[in-house]
Amino acid sequence: MNFLAHIYLSFDDEEITLGNFFADHIRGNRYKHLPDKIQKGILLHREIDTFTDAHPTARKSSKRLHENYHHYSRVIVDIYYDHFLAKNWSDYSTIPLEEFVENFYILLEDNYDILPMATKRMMPYMIADNWLLNYANLTGIDRVLNGMNRRTKNKSRMNFAILDLEEHYTEFENEFTSFFKELITFSNQKFISLCED
């Protein structure tokens, strides 16, 4: 899953949210110096990724893209799924997306000192362009996919993936809705068990 889903699946716990958000910027077990709850957020992030990668519905979405994007297809699906979460946000939260996102940016700023360097480098762009809020519209998703393509030096061709989203929009949205319901249940169970340890 992509950024918005990981933040959402932290169940309003600030330290879990931080770890769940920046876990991709932590290699191996190089997180032992961080506060306990942030470590648990990193572990939750990894559990979510493992569940997602193995899930037949997420794999079905990815397979639709594989011919054109090969191993980048899973990354693209993560971005698509964040779009559907943002677009249908009111189905999942009583807090408006604008408020949820603003609170998250404040959380990052308040905890800047403990963020990994890669997160610190990304953060100004994320906030200035308001990535999380702009996931809700296709223009925002197009911008993200173009940015990802540039980072792969145009090898991924992810800039064309907006066309696949538009062509198969209903299928991807239905797959997200079905999958995300299961992911919420799974993540909540993992969240509870991690917090009990």
Q: Write 33-38 long-range contacts (CB < 8 A, 24+).
A: 34/114, 35/114, 37/13, 37/195, 38/114
C-beta atoms surrounding 53 within 10 Å: 11
Tell if the pTM clears 0.85, that is, is over it.
Answer: yes
How far apart (Å, rounded) are the C-alpha atoms in residues 117 and 130?
20
pLDDT of residue 197: 74
The CA distances from residue 137 to 99, 106, 113, 127, 132, in Å, are 17, 23, 32, 17, 10
At residue 1, the pLDDT reads: 67
Each residue's pLDDT, cut to its tens digit, for the chain (197 residues) gives 689 999 999 999 999 999 999 999 999 888 899 999 999 999 999 999 999 999 999 999 999 999 999 999 999 999 999 999 999 999 999 999 999 999 999 999 999 999 999 999 999 999 999 999 999 999 999 999 999 999 899 999 999 999 999 999 999 999 999 999 999 999 999 999 999 87
Question: What's the pLDDT at 30?
Answer: 86
Helices (H), 115-156: 117-128, 131-134, 138-151
